[in-house]
Every structure is written in C-alpha cells, then in structure tokens.
Amino acid sequence: MKRHFVIYRDEYSQNTLTLRFEMKKILSFAAIMACFAGLFFATSCKKDQPAENPMKFNPTKVEVEVGKTVDITVSEAVAPISATSSDVTVASVEVKDSKVTVKGIKVGSATVTVKDKNKKSGTFTVTVIAAKE
C-alpha cells in the first residue's frame, strides 16, 4: 500500500497533491537555481580583472663581452626591484633603481630573473661572448 502525504485538497476538482510531487518540483527548481548561480560565479571571476602588464626590458636582446657590463632598464615594475642570475659563473647582476647591470664573467648564457615589490617577475637571457681584441 502506497502512502501519500496530502498537502491540500482542491475542493473544486477533488485533485490531491502529494508531497512527492511537490518535492520533485522543489528539487528541480533548486537544481536550476544552483546551475544559474554556478554560471554567474564562474563568469564573474578573473575575466573582469585587467591583465597584469609584464615587465619590459630595454634592450630586449642582451649580449655582453667577458669582463664588460651592460645596463638594462626595467619598466612596468614597482620599485624596489631585485635581480638574480641563473649562473653567476657566466653573468653577475647588480640593481640600482630601475636598472639592472649585467657583467660578463665567462662565455655562455644565463637567465636573469627580476622581481618587483609586488612579487611580479620577468626574465631575460644574457649571452656572454668572448672579448674582442
């Protein structure tokens, strides 16, 4: 014997609505609202935020002779900045204001990573060539 819980009885048509029928409607409505809420939050996140500008380096191609230095100007960075070389036996780096000074130590290449106050970072490659005579 099936049991139905009567919510109310319509006096004109004598139709009985059951709790099971109402629960299906409520759950369907809740599922649809959850989908809309998920869609709203998924589309309103990072797409609305402006893209972060990458650091810029001038010059963009860095080549230095052994024993010489070259200055690279850093833009789109918040001071103070710091710089590190991936191979200090090939190229060393020093920072002053918004300039990175690279010194060639021995022939080879190294990647210099520059970080700013907001922890934004950028990289450039340094090629160290033999000194010209």
For the stretch 69-124, pLDDT in tens is 999 999 999 999 999 999 999 999 999 999 999 999 999 999 999 999 999 999 99
Domain locations in the chain as residue ranges? 6-48, 56-129
CA gap 122, 54 in Å, rounded: 7
The predicted structure's pLDDT at residue 10: 55
CA gap 25, 32 in Å, rounded: 11
Q: Answer whether 0.85 is exceeded by the pTM.
A: no
CATH architecture label of 56-129: Sandwich (2.60)
CB 99 within 8 A of CB 73: yes
DSSP classification of residue 50: P
Q: With 60 as the cut, is the pLDDT of residue 3 above it?
A: no
